[in-house]
Structure 1
Amino acid sequence: MSGIRILQIAHDHPDFTPGGTEVLAHGLARALDATDAVDCSFLAASTSLTRPEDSPGGLGVHGADYLLRTGRYDRFSMARCDGTDWIEALARVIAAQRPQILHLHGLDRIGAEVLPVLRRLAPQARIVMTLHDFQMLCANDGLLTTSDGQRCAGPDPERCRSCVPAQTGASHALRRAHLLALLRLVDLFIAPSQFLRDKFIAWGIEPVRIRLLANAVAPLAPVAESARSRPDRFAYFGNIAPHKGVLTLLSAAQRLAGAELRIDLHGGLLHPEPEFAGAFAAALTAAGPLVQHHGGYRREELPGLLQRCDWVVMPSLWWENAPLVLLEARAAGRPVICSGIGGMAEIVADGVTGLHVPPGDAATLAEVMGRVAGDAALHRRLAQGQRKAQTPEAHKGFVKEHLEIYRSLTRRTAA
């Protein structure tokens, strides 16, 4: 089998920002590099917050990985505003690695202009991009929600203007046209969910250029089956943010006052708006002893935290795509109670590996949690469904499918 050289590029490193995109991209890179006849490197953007010793545009290293320091960045246009030194730094990586495949995991902070730069630096390489989020579609932090928190059907210049009023409708239209023009340089897109794939097709990407490939998480440390006779421990994992539905969960907890159950919140309250911070503190107090907020956690702590819970709750108000926490719950055999929308509804099969609830419906969420807390048979059945859905070979198959995509693209180049 002939060898193949790959460069994976992400907007951050999981050791600095352990988000889903960072963890999945880095895990894929490491698994590929461990495969025979594959040489895979990883390049991540870094900021002054995580690497203050690096100068903007400079190139650093972190273990076996490259770090490309980014500076000022315009989130609306997805453009870097920190000069051009980064191009020379990127050229050094390309010259050293000579990649045949350039696999990007989004454009945030790296900047959309990286696409023509990569095409110039490595004209024979094929460019792949995994669409992990909606940043390109939505200038409102990629959330696809309106300014009043409602889910958005999709980008439209005038509708987008209501969320980002500092930009005219024409500016929103030009943003879309500019990004689509640059994205023509991508040979193939990968979509982890059908929901996200449909959104990008509606936005303007040709269906033939977007391949559906569900994410799979690298194996965690083993998590044993729950031995409790009452499956009454619920856990939330993720940032404490409005769109994550945390206030809905706390409202449900208030309705469950006096019930025999426990809810643990694992996640940091990162740079919140004062209004939300106040609302969260008040709701946490009102929820009383049923709920404990433990703050952020390191990923290596996750198996132990999952071991101590029976159910994972994800009451997100926005569409989501392929949340890492749901894949981690699957790997641990923990049933999920989640909003039955977007990519969540694809990962969690209602009644098979978990349960769906309407987003923002605290009364229904409370009713479901109260009911399942005493149903050991249901918990056992859903937990078995989770373990069947995540076999030990799942991540190996995920890596293999990526290699098949890469080899197909390189054969097309050779032809």
Structure 2
Amino acid sequence: MHVLVVHNRYSSAQPSGENRVVDEEVGLLRAAGHRVEVFERRSDDIAARSLLSKAAVPLLVPWNPSVRTELAARLRDHRADVVHVHNVFPLLSPAVLAACADAGVPVVATLHNYTQVCPPGTLHRDGRACTECVGTATSLPAVRHGCYRNSRLATVPLAVSLAVNRRRWWSGVERFLCISAAQRDVLVRSGMPAERLTVKHNFVPDPGVGRKDDGEHLLFLGRLAEAKGVPLLMAAWDEIAAGGGLGVPLVIAGAGPLEREVTAWAAGRDDVRYVGLYDPEQCREAVARSVAVVAPSMARETFGLVVAEAMAAGVPAVAAAHGGFVELVEDGETGLLHRPGDAAELASRLRRIAADPARNREMGEAARRRYEDHFSPSVGLRRLEEEYRAATAGRSGDGEVPSPTRETSTGSRRETGVSGDGGSR
């Protein structure tokens, strides 16, 4: 097939799981013999703009007319079988959907987060879950709270874009690809067309390296932010340390707004190592040397790449029992789940995962098998091809479009606590 991938790349200042997913899907499709082209904008380019041009960027968030003209012309000259849309914020805008309609090309859109119903895309505010904008027509609560970058002014373009483009999204996309059933449930409850929402989990490349022994540390790998559960992890680890520790250190790798706090907390301790940002190879090696990977997110993760990466390396995870994590981690089988926001239970699960090396190895082996069955590149390729065929069949009427279901190939959704990040803007 001829596929055109549309994506606004996030800033390179912080590693983006979404950028990685897009790049890996493009590589996977090309390796399988598909013709894949990319139509993109880069948020990094904003810094080089003139002051006037920078000031105009918020005006382009709801609608960028030049993008519509450029993309429509490209599709006329090099018609694709399907356009796969990922992120359109801030430089592309939903004008890409109009361009595809102009050219009569069907659209598939991956929903990496909750931006269809929440301006910042997290369903998280002030340390707690928030659904005030879900099901509303205007997203005024987000503006009132300044949910994007703690700024009412910065939130306005996102809220406007949601309000004026809602129907365009719903009518202009043949297939919405949710990356977890938990995410799909939230979006269906918000009023999005259920018949166009299907679940296609992210895949994770085989790391080529797996755990060979019992592991030498527990690992947190991600953005240093409250929503990722960093303060919760610090509190749980302090409780563990007060009880004598686990015999292995906690390694924290990443960057973000809490970097100063994490650096100060880890300073002078033998049981904690803050290592800053790891490159991809360092990440793979650190995961493979882990007793377990820890993912204590407060926000409702739409998937959880770090957990899937741990599974690929044969390493169990300790994760919050909400969002996409409950579709990745089989509690007691491939890892352990804890009540979201409960530091004492997180501490208990960390003690348990480290206390029995033989059982830990069994969970790691089960995690690897689950990865091969559900989150490997071969599964990811098959699901992409299925959705592209469904989208083109739906547009042409040449075939029957399979109906998305709430249940997925990974089994029925099991969830404890709050229902329902692939990340925020």
Which bracket does the TM-score occupy, shorter chain normalised?
0.7 to 0.9
Amino acid at match of 1:204: G
Given candidates 186, 189, 214, the residue that maps to 2:176 is: 189
Report if the CA contact (8 A) 2:373-2:379 is conserved.
no
1:248 aligns with 2:232: yes
Matched with 2:203 is 216
Matched with 1:136 is 116
Matched with 1:340 is 321
Matched with 1:152 is 130
Given candidates 223, 235, 240, the residue that maps to 1:239 is: 223
User: Residues 179 and 198 (structure 1 numbering): CA distance in 2 closer, same or farther, change over 3 Å?
Assistant: farther
1:6-405 equivalences under 5 Å are 6-12=3-9, 18-36=15-33, 38-48=34-44, 52=48, 73-74=57-58, 78-79=61-62, 84-91=65-72, 93-95=74-76, 97-109=78-90, 110-120=92-102, 122-123=103-104, 125-139=105-119, 141-146=120-125, 148-153=126-131, 155=133, 156=136, 157=139, 159-164=141-146, 166=152, 176-183=162-169, 184-220=171-207, 222-228=208-214, 231=215, 233-257=217-241, 258-259=244-245, 260-269=247-256, 272=257, 276=258, 279-285=261-267, 288-391=269-372, 394-405=376-387
> Which deviates the most, 389-398 or 182-191?
389-398
Separation in structure 2 between the aligned mates of residue 96 and residue 241 of structure 1, nearest angstrom = 44
Separation in structure 1 between the aligned mates of residue 55 and residue 158 of structure 2, nearest angstrom = 24
User: Residues 297 and 244 (structure 1 numbering): CA distance in 2 closer, same or farther, change over 3 Å?
Assistant: same
**Runs of at least 4 residues of structure 1 off by over 6 A?**
13-16, 169-174
Segments of structure 1 that go 5 or more residues without pairing to the other structure are 57-68
**Partner secondary structure for residue 297 of structure 2:** coil
1:409 Cα deviation (Å)? 2.7
Separation in structure 1 between the aligned mates of residue 203 and residue 116 of structure 2, nearest angstrom = 23
User: Residues 282 and 173 (structure 1 numbering): CA distance in 2 closer, same or farther, change over 3 Å?
Assistant: closer
Report if the CA contact (8 A) 2:334-2:364 is conserved.
yes
Give the count of matched residue pairs.
Answer: 381
Separation in structure 2 between the aligned mates of residue 158 and residue 88 of structure 1, nearest angstrom = 31
Separation in structure 2 between the aligned mates of residue 292 and residue 282 of structure 1, nearest angstrom = 11
Separation in structure 1 between the aligned mates of residue 175 and residue 313 of structure 2, nearest angstrom = 32
- TM-score, normalised by the number of residues in structure 2: 0.80
1:359 Cα deviation (Å)? 1.9
Separation in structure 1 between the aligned mates of residue 145 and residue 50 of structure 2, nearest angstrom = 34
Q: Which has the higher contact order (CA 8 A, sep 6+)?
A: 2
> Which deviates the most, 306-315 or 249-258?
249-258
User: Residues 331 and 72 (structure 1 numbering): CA distance in 2 closer, same or farther, change over 3 Å?
Assistant: farther
Separation in structure 2 between the aligned mates of residue 193 and residue 96 of structure 1, nearest angstrom = 36
Separation in structure 2 between the aligned mates of residue 404 and residue 304 of structure 1, nearest angstrom = 33
1:337-359 deviations in Å (ceiling 9; x for gaps): 01101111211111111101122
Report if the CA contact (8 A) 1:103-1:129 is conserved.
yes
> Percent of counterpart pairs with the same letter?
24
Segments of structure 2 that go 5 or more residues without pairing to the other structure are 398-425
**Partner secondary structure for residue 256 of structure 1:** helix
1:360 Cα deviation (Å)? 2.1
Amino acid at match of 1:227: D
- TM-score, normalised by the number of residues in structure 1: 0.82
Matched with 1:64 is none
Report if the CA contact (8 A) 1:20-1:323 is conserved.
no
User: Residues 154 and 398 (structure 1 numbering): CA distance in 2 closer, same or farther, change over 3 Å?
Assistant: farther
1:285 Cα deviation (Å)? 4.1
1:50 Cα deviation (Å)? 8.6
1:228-268 deviations in Å (ceiling 9; x for gaps): 3xx56100111111111111111122122242121101111
Report if the CA contact (8 A) 1:46-1:70 is conserved.
no
1:162 Cα deviation (Å)? 4.5
Matched with 1:66 is none
